Structure 1
């Protein structure tokens, strides 16, 4: 049975929502007029006082829907019952897009980072910060095998999470397969012979970064047009992935 247009439209909308948890994070999001808060979720076990009362007031002032849930239901929304503090917030970002929007978003070309296996939220946040500050146009981030966009990521990004396009996909393999004919894809590898320093950037380029322990997987390497390395001195073998991302972001 074919899905109805209404269902597909609703599914696409839900996929674009980013859910954050925690009371202080909720206040921070609601106090920022540049952030579109779609819905606030509260546990019905919360005492309606103090910061919870403030969250309710801020949501009402912005005409944001407030939904109340039991603890179990809220934990399914926040996906972190241990730390959600009975609060979750859905944010709709105009910069959180499906990977299919890459081509139409950058008619004149692009420089993107594709992140594989970046599970540390601090690293992800720092990568986002460097990308936003530098010459990166967007980040391809899989929904699987990756840190989730969370309060920790938002904090580590120093407020830049909503300042750069983030393109989501189920897997990097499927995303890069769809882009391999229109962009030059480079894998970062300490074993590569070609250097980032001497690389001449094409009109459309994607840099694939893996985590520090495993690097870029063999299946993604098979899609890359070339592997490149960052030259290092004094026998240093590798860099933190966030540092690598920063060097790419500021390459001339």
Structure 2
């Protein structure tokens, strides 16, 4: 019985570790990640078919210096790891980042704090996602709730738009945004959507509890399921007939409100 429990705990710990890894691909992207002192690389994946190149030599040297396991794969296997055969250039890396964690770890560690989070509900444009990450990292945001599905994936375009801040950003992973928001609400957090019809302006909104600002899809906004969970709605006043702002601009205004 004890052995079964220990095996189960060991499996969960192992699964949690692998869930904490972010896989990036592409030679320049992997090189930039390895050059960042804040990144820990667990594994470097290389295609056996790669031809000798200076950038590959530099990647391998940096990976060795950081103590990474280096594995060579058939091209098809590497494509399954990168999930982008057309752009991985025969290179992928599993990174463990200081700010990349499961949301319930953050919730447990910050249960008595008045944190401020952004939650992404269908942000599909990679450049928008990258700019949101950059603004959140620079501003007064304690974490970004990033569901595994429904948003743009972390790829070279996102990393470029974030100016590399994705490697240091407080990204909180969750499988389903509505479930994660419910867990936060149970712990006393407010969930707030941006709406042009709201009575309260963003700059006048001063919550006395942890607050999560939801950023919706570029064209459809916040999904109905998430909107139903919102305790509050706030607006950003518009002039000259402008109806809405780019979602990344909105994130910046929240981050520096």
TM-score relative to the length of structure 2:
0.92
Residues 141-193 of structure 1: CA distance to partner in whole angstroms, max 9, x if unpaired? 10010111222222111122233311100010110011113111101122323
Corresponding residue for residue 127 of structure 1: 132
**What SS does structure 1 have at the residue aligned with 2:59?**
helix
**What SS does structure 2 have at the residue aligned with 1:4?**
helix
Residues 198 and 233, structure 2, Cα contact 8 Å, conserved in 1: yes
Alignment size in residue pairs: 251
Corresponding residue for residue 136 of structure 1: 141
Corresponding residue for residue 4 of structure 1: 8
Corresponding residue for residue 236 of structure 2: 230
Corresponding residue for residue 29 of structure 2: 25
Tell whether 2:158 aligns with 1:178.
Answer: no
**What SS does structure 1 have at the residue aligned with 2:166?**
coil
Partners of 2:12 and 2:156 in 1: how far apart?
A: 29
**What SS does structure 1 have at the residue aligned with 2:167?**
coil
Tell whether 2:24 aligns with 1:39.
Answer: no
Unaligned runs of 5+ in 1: none
Partners of 1:85 and 1:132 in 2: how far apart?
A: 29
Unaligned runs of 5+ in 2: none
Residues 19 and 150, structure 1, Cα contact 8 Å, conserved in 2: no
Corresponding residue for residue 105 of structure 1: 109
Q: CA deviation at 1:94?
A: 2.2
Tell whether 2:170 aligns with 1:161.
Answer: no
**What SS does structure 2 have at the residue aligned with 1:234?**
coil
TM-score relative to the length of structure 1:
0.94
**What SS does structure 2 have at the residue aligned with 1:191?**
coil
Q: CA deviation at 1:197?
A: 2.5
Corresponding residue for residue 55 of structure 1: 59
Partners of 1:223 and 1:34 in 2: how far apart?
A: 35
Residues 137 and 164, structure 1, Cα contact 8 Å, conserved in 2: no
Tell whether 2:213 aligns with 1:207.
Answer: yes
Partners of 1:141 and 1:115 in 2: how far apart?
A: 6
Tell whether 2:222 aligns with 1:216.
Answer: yes
Residues 95 and 166, structure 1, Cα contact 8 Å, conserved in 2: yes
Residues 122 and 153, structure 1, Cα contact 8 Å, conserved in 2: yes
Residues 118-155 of structure 1: CA distance to partner in whole angstroms, max 9, x if unpaired? 11111111111111111111110100101112222221
Which runs of 4 or more aligned residues in structure 1 lie more than 3 Å from their structure 2 counterparts after TM superposition? none
Q: C-alpha root-mean-square deviation of aligned residues, in Å?
A: 1.6
